[in-house]
Amino acid sequence: MALKRLLQEDMVHVSPNPVTDAIHITTDLPKKCEVSLLDIYGRIIYTATILQSATIDVDNFADGVYFLGVKTEDDKVVRQWVKQ
């Protein structure tokens, strides 16, 4: 029996992308999610629990490619974003 995916990639929105100072994250889920920002090597550099949306200051991050992980109790989605 296959598990139903509860968190789909189109349920996580990241803007702007590329970003210069703050990244805005929204989800279409009515429950809390754990968000993590990871560097290109997969190291977690920021983590928080959000309810549907958050704005994270990334002004001090070095320019480059990063990943956003959004995790619920049942599923996980990873999105790529760029800091300029």
Q: What is the pLDDT of residue 1?
A: 44
What is the pTM for the complete model shown?
A: 0.85
Alpha carbons 74 and 51: distance in angstroms, whole number: 16
Percent of the chain's residues with pLDDT above 70: 89
The rounded distance, in Å, linking the Cα atoms of 25 and 27 is: 7
Q: Mind listing the domains of the chain with CATH numbers?
A: 9-83 (2.60.40.3080)
The mean pLDDT value for 28-37 works out to: 90
pLDDT of res. 6: 55
Question: Which is higher by pLDDT, 48 or 76?
Answer: 48
pLDDT confidence tier of residue 31, bands split at 50, 70 and 90? confident
